[in-house]
Amino acid sequence: MEYKKISVGALETNCYIIFNKEKSAIIVDPGGEGEKISLFIEEKKLKPLMIINTHGHADHCGANKFLKEKYSIPILIHEDDTQILNSLENKFIFPLMKGEPSPEPDSFLKDGDLIGLGEITLKIIHTPGHTPGSISILINGVLISGDLIFSGSVGRTDLPGGSWSKLLESIKNKILTLPEETIILPGHGPSTTVGEEKRNNPFINYEAY
């Protein structure tokens, strides 16, 4: 498996492009700047198969429309976040991300879903808290966490649908149970590991045990 992190928009969202030896690719969280994302795809001669949004906030879906239309690919998200996808709050954020409102999703993801990408398997983990339908994606010892957990921090829960108790429950029961060497690729900021966050994340150390 190979992946590329592309920082997009004023909020510096991490968009991840996962691809295999055959150059088939999945785009995760294209928050904005669709042309910047597509430039990498064209340079690598990748063949995008789908877009996955870890949640419905504007800074994670602002380039959905551009990429869906350019590559004729479906948008996948957890059903519990469909109302957030084009909420009033999102409409104010799209311009900051050089993005635009998302089309309706083509399919819904649920906990335990497996998505094949050649020799790669993506496992969907429902991790509510930041939003009701937030998901994380586990791929060969690498976890794309969306805005659930960051290096030294955790996702905010003060936006509509957020829940502090559910966020901590998701982290404790679904993230900290993974092997400590699991690499975490968050929605913003640098990568980290499960072990690093167990030892040093003040929110986890204080609240999760």
pLDDT at residue 209 tops 50: no
Weakest mean pLDDT among 28-32, 85-89, 161-165: 85-89
pLDDT at residue 168 tops 90: yes
Instruction: Give the pTM.
Output: 0.95
Distance CA(62)–CA(195), nearest Å, equals 32
Distance CA(186)–CA(204), nearest Å, equals 16
Q: How confident is the model at residue 175 (pLDDT cuts 50, 70, 90)?
A: very high
pLDDT at residue 144 tops 80: yes
Distance CA(181)–CA(186), nearest Å, equals 15
Most confident of 88-92, 157-161, 205-209: 157-161
Q: Which of 76, 75, 73 has the alpha carbon at shortest distance from 41?
A: 73
Residues of the domain holding 172? 2-207
Q: Which of 147, 129, 133 has the alpha carbon at shortest distance from 82?
A: 133
Encode pLDDT of 89-109 as tens digits. 888 888 888 989 999 999 999
Mean pLDDT of 64-75: 98
pLDDT at residue 39 tops 90: yes
Task: Give the model's pLDDT for residue 153.
Answer: 97
Distance CA(168)–CA(165), nearest Å, equals 5
CATH of the domain at 50: 3.60.15.10
Helices (H), 44-77: 64-71
pLDDT at residue 32 tops 90: yes
Q: How far apart, in Å, are the Cα atoms of 35 and each of 9, 106, 184?
A: 12, 22, 26
Mean pLDDT of 72-92: 91
pLDDT at residue 174 tops 50: yes
Domains identified in the chain, total number:
1
| Apex 54 CA angle, 49 and 55, nearest 5 | 125
Find the length of the chain: 209
Over the chain, what is the mean pLDDT? 95
According to DSSP, the residues that pair with 50 across neighbouring strands are: 26
pLDDT at residue 85 tops 80: yes
Distance CA(118)–CA(155), nearest Å, equals 32
* Cβ 105 vs Cβ 24: under 8 Å: no
